[in-house]
Amino acid sequence: MSEYKETVPIDEERIWKTIEAGRRARASQVLEVLDKARSLKGLEAEEVAQLMDVSDPELLSGLFATARQIKEDIYGKRLVLFAPLYISNMCGNECSYCAFRARNTSVKRRALSQDEIARETRILIDQGHKRILLVAGEAYPREGFDYILKAIDTVYATRHERGEIRRLNVNLAPLKVEEFQALRDRKIGTYQIFQETYHRETYAKVHLAGKKTDFNWRITAIDRAMQGNIDDVGIGVLFGLFDWRFEILAMMQHIRHLEQKFGVGPHTISVPRLEPAVGSDLASHPPRPVTDLEFRKIIAILRMAVPYTGIIMSTRETADIRRETFALGVSQISAGSRTNPGGYSTDDQEDMSSQFSLGDHRPLDEVIRDVSFLGYIPSFCTGCYRLGRTGKDFMDLAKPGEIKLHCSPNAYSTFLEYLIDYASDETRTVGEAAIARSLDELDDVSRQRSQNLMAKVRQGKRDVFC
Ligand code: SAM
Ligand code: SF4
């Protein structure tokens, strides 16, 4: 198959040189980089490289402390929650790490009907979710891409008791510009796609058949999304396939490319690590495993390098790792996830149609109780996207710190909605205490707005935001 002619230039030679130079960084240089990071202006590739091999315990704790401070300064106590909705595990690609790969006969194939999609959506609504990430393999049933469009309509049209899904993000294979336009017309939130690895040689080794073998078609997907007027995009790397240092610097080149070409970078970065998957040896034996310490470093370094870009942590990771990384920079988490189509409608946590094994199996209510106990304010906010504060508009508000004046109040109002409408008694008690404790830490404007919105929620109003 011939390759798509356009690409996003990734300068591999420069990346290796930068990594090498970074390894020689002295302690004083590392401290200078941490100082710069605290100014919330982001870091250059050379500076990022100087942090990657820090191993001295004191410098390392300085690195983590800096990431914690940045997280706190920009995101406060908020942690946005969502659930993935897998609608189909049919796939024409042969990604050697994924259970959905075409030749894997151990997996039961299933594409949910629109009724089944509505049923899964109702279950997520009844759990209290407001934000969904729609996920599918790359082989749509008979209707082709229309299947996805209908699924989006189905999710948005589903209402149950007091709830509805207010924001639907998607994680889908690369699309054509006109398909992106159709997604945009359906009012998706974020279009998310992971390059998996930015290292061409490794990419070729792990993607053995199907459209996904075309590195260029995949790496240019975000460009086409932007051309299709989707300015809210998410990128990511599948950690464990190749050297994480290379991946971080390559991802930074991708981000700079987007900033230069479209004036705005990604809204989110996802950090999946390879997890075991049925029918995949590679998934159980990652070629370049990332240790827990390195993983924490990755989150902390990204938090410093691109402070205003959200970092998403999925339930691939265990509850313990998730807890540690919230403080270091994670701003969005999934909870109560299933990665098999129809998974929310069965009791079987991981049947033979799941994409990979999960590290965190806890239901949403338990995750909410845990994170509020740790002092976070779980947020189901969908305000920015519904008020058109996306892409460059979002960043223009985020960088001077003004976005907080919206995010905090909206986090409180949506968290309170959850506590009143869906939480168990125990979670409600822990959650109300977290609200009371954390309000004092807000600036006056955010506190006042939060209290106003929460008063409306207590009076019975829903979906109030600013
Ligand atoms: N099929 C589309 C694609 O590949 O772009 C979209 C969804 S795919 C189901 C979502 C992501 O799951 C992939 O981009 C990949 O990073 C991740 N994934 C696949 N196998 C995995 C594994 N064994 N462990 C962790 N993540 C995995
Ligand atoms: Fe298919 Fe995506 Fe899995 Fe690859 S990662 S096999 S494209 S579902």
Give pLDDT tens digits for 121-171: 999 999 999 999 999 999 988 889 999 999 999 999 999 998 999 999 999
- Tell me the pLDDT of the chain averaged across its residues: 94
pLDDT of residue 164: 95
Write down the pTM of the prediction. Answer: 0.96
Closest-lying ligand to the alpha carbon of 212? 2
CA 356, CA 11: separation in Å to the nearest integer?
32
Give pLDDT tens digits for 314-354: 999 999 999 999 999 999 999 999 999 999 998 765 566 78
pLDDT of residue 402: 67
- How many residues are there in the chain? 466
- Domains of the chain (ranges; CATH) run 72-383 (3.20.20.70), 404-458 (no CATH)
Q: Give the residue whose CA is nearest to atom 20 of ligand 1.
A: 98
Q: Give the residue whose CA is nearest to atom 6 of ligand 2.
A: 101
Ligand 1 atom closest to 273 (CA)? 25
Cβ 212 under 6 angstroms from ligand 2: yes
Q: Give the residue whose CA is nearest to atom 1 of ligand 1.
A: 137
Q: How far is the CA of 431 from the centre of ligand 1 (A)?
A: 33
Give pLDDT tens digits for 356-365: 788 999 999 9
Contact assessment for residue 188 and residue 170, using Cβ atoms and an 8 Å cutoff: yes
Cβ 174 under 6 angstroms from ligand 1: no
Confidence category of residue 465, pLDDT binned at 50, 70, 90: confident
Contact assessment for residue 125 and residue 158, using Cβ atoms and an 8 Å cutoff: yes
Give pLDDT tens digits for 394-423: 777 677 666 677 788 999 999 999 999 999
Residue 218 has pLDDT above 90, yes or no: yes
Give pLDDT tens digits for 226-262: 999 999 999 999 999 999 999 999 999 999 999 999 9
Distances (CA, A) of 235 to 35, 198, 213, 310: 27, 11, 18, 10
Give pLDDT tens digits for 48-98: 999 999 999 999 999 999 999 999 988 888 999 999 999 999 999 999 999
Cβ 370 under 6 angstroms from ligand 2: no
Contact assessment for residue 334 and residue 83, using Cβ atoms and an 8 Å cutoff: yes
% pLDDT > 70, the chain? 97
CA 103, CA 92: separation in Å to the nearest integer?
9
Q: How far is the CA of 243 from the centre of ligand 1 (A)?
A: 18
Confidence category of residue 436, pLDDT binned at 50, 70, 90: very high
